[in-house]
Structure 1
Amino acid sequence: MNNYSIISSLLDNDFYKFTMQNAVIKLFPSAIAKYEFINRGNHSFPNNFAEILKEILNQMALLKLSNKEKVFLEKNCPYLDSSYIDFLDKYQYNPNEVNIYQKGRNIKMNIEGLWSRTILWEVPLMAIISELYYKLTDKKRISDKKIIFLIKRKLKKYKKLNAKIGEFGTRRRYSYQVHKLVFKVLMEEGYPFFLGSSNVHLSQIFSIKPIGTQGHEWVMFHAAKYGFKTADRIAMENWLNVYNGNLGIALSDTYTSSIFFKNFNKKLSNAFKGIRHDSGDPIFFTKKAIEHYKKFKINPIQKKIIFSDNLTPDKVARISSFCKNKITPFFGIGTNFTNDVGVHSMNIVIKMIKAIPKKEWISVVKLSNVKEKSTGKKNMIFLAKKDLHL
Structure 2
Amino acid sequence: MNELAIISSLLDNDFYKFTMQNAVIKLFPLAKARYEFINRGKHFFPGNFVDLLKKNLDKMANLKLSNEERIFLEKNCPYLDSKYLDFLDQYQYNPKEVNVFQKGKNIQMYIEGLWSRTILWEVPLMAIISELYYQLTGAKRFSDKKIIHLTRKKLEKYKRLNVKFGEYGTRRRFSYQIHKLVLEVLIREGKTFFMGSSNVHLSHIFSIKPIGTHGHEWIMFHAAKYGFNIADKIAMKNWLNIYGKNLGIALSDTYTSPIFFKNFDKKLANLFEGIRHDSGDPLLFVKETINHYQKLKINPLQKKIIFSDNLNPCKVARISSFCKNKINPFFGIGTNFTNDVGLPSMNIVIKMVKAFPKKKWTSVVKLSNVKEKSTGKKNTIFLAKKILHIS
Q: Which residue of 1 aligns with 2:212?
A: 212
1:319 & 1:302 partners in 2: Cα distance? 18
Contact 1:7 1:60 in 2 (8 A): yes
Contact 1:276 1:305 in 2 (8 A): yes
Q: Which residue of 2 aligns with 1:22?
A: 22
Q: Which residue of 1 aligns with 2:294?
A: 294
The amino acid that maps onto 1:211 is: I
1:264 & 1:81 partners in 2: Cα distance? 28
Where in structure 2 are the equivalents of 1:197-276 lying within 5 Å?
Answer: 197-276=197-276
Displacement of 1:48 in angstroms is 1.2
Q: Which residue of 2 aligns with 1:124?
A: 124
1:94 & 1:67 partners in 2: Cα distance? 21
Displacement of 1:14 in angstroms is 0.1
Secondary structure at the counterpart of residue 229 of structure 2: helix
1:327 matches 2:327: yes
Q: Which residue of 2 aligns with 1:170?
A: 170
C-alpha offsets along residues 134-172 of structure 1, whole Å, 9 cap, x if unaligned?
A: 001102211110000000000000000001000000000
Contact 1:249 1:272 in 2 (8 A): yes
Aligned length: 390
Contact 1:255 1:366 in 2 (8 A): yes
Displacement of 1:311 in angstroms is 0.2
Contact 1:4 1:132 in 2 (8 A): no
Displacement of 1:2 in angstroms is 6.8
1:3 & 1:279 partners in 2: Cα distance? 37
Q: Which residue of 1 aligns with 2:366?
A: 366
Contact 1:161 1:317 in 2 (8 A): yes
Displacement of 1:4 in angstroms is 4.3
Where in structure 2 are the equivalents of 1:44-59 lying within 5 Å?
Answer: 44-59=44-59
Q: Which residue of 1 aligns with 2:64?
A: 64
C-alpha offsets along residues 208-267 of structure 1, whole Å, 9 cap, x if unaligned?
A: 000001000000000000000000000000000000121000000000000000000000
Identity %: 78
1:229 & 1:28 partners in 2: Cα distance? 20
2:255 & 2:81 partners in 1: Cα distance? 30
1:366 & 1:384 partners in 2: Cα distance? 9
2:12 & 2:52 partners in 1: Cα distance? 20
2:102 & 2:195 partners in 1: Cα distance? 40
Q: Which residue of 2 aligns with 1:36?
A: 36
Q: Which residue of 1 aligns with 2:110?
A: 110
2:377 & 2:51 partners in 1: Cα distance? 28
Q: Where does structure 1 differ by over 4 angstroms across 4 or more consecutive aligned residues?
A: none
Q: Which residue of 1 aligns with 2:187?
A: 187
2:196 & 2:266 partners in 1: Cα distance? 30
Q: Which residue of 1 aligns with 2:309?
A: 309
1:125 & 1:48 partners in 2: Cα distance? 17
1:158 matches 2:158: yes
Displacement of 1:284 in angstroms is 0.1
1:261 & 1:202 partners in 2: Cα distance? 35
The amino acid that maps onto 1:326 is: K
2:55 & 2:2 partners in 1: Cα distance? 7
The amino acid that maps onto 1:185 is: V
User: What RMSD, in angstroms, separates the aligned Cα atoms of the two structures?
Assistant: 0.8
2:280 & 2:30 partners in 1: Cα distance? 34
1:107 & 1:81 partners in 2: Cα distance? 38
1:193 & 1:244 partners in 2: Cα distance? 26
1:82 & 1:303 partners in 2: Cα distance? 31
C-alpha offsets along residues 94-116 of structure 1, whole Å, 9 cap, x if unaligned?
A: 00000000000000000000000
Q: TM-score, normalised by structure 1?
A: 0.99
Distance 1:2 1:149, change over 3 A: closer
C-alpha offsets along residues 35-63 of structure 1, whole Å, 9 cap, x if unaligned?
A: 00000000000001111101110000000
1:341 matches 2:341: yes
Secondary structure at the counterpart of residue 139 of structure 2: coil
Contact 1:16 1:215 in 2 (8 A): yes
Structure 2 unaligned runs (5+)?
A: none
The amino acid that maps onto 2:83 is: S
Secondary structure at the counterpart of residue 253 of structure 1: coil
Q: Which residue of 1 aligns with 2:135?
A: 135
Where in structure 2 are the equivalents of 1:278-293 lying within 5 Å?
Answer: 278-293=278-293
Q: Which residue of 1 aligns with 2:88?
A: 88
2:196 & 2:19 partners in 1: Cα distance? 16
Secondary structure at the counterpart of residue 13 of structure 1: coil
Contact 1:38 1:349 in 2 (8 A): yes
C-alpha offsets along residues 293-345 of structure 1, whole Å, 9 cap, x if unaligned?
A: 00111100110100000000000000000000100000000000000001110
Q: Which residue of 1 aligns with 2:351?
A: 351
The amino acid that maps onto 2:100 is: I
The amino acid that maps onto 1:131 is: E
Secondary structure at the counterpart of residue 229 of structure 1: coil
Q: TM-score, normalised by structure 2?
A: 0.99
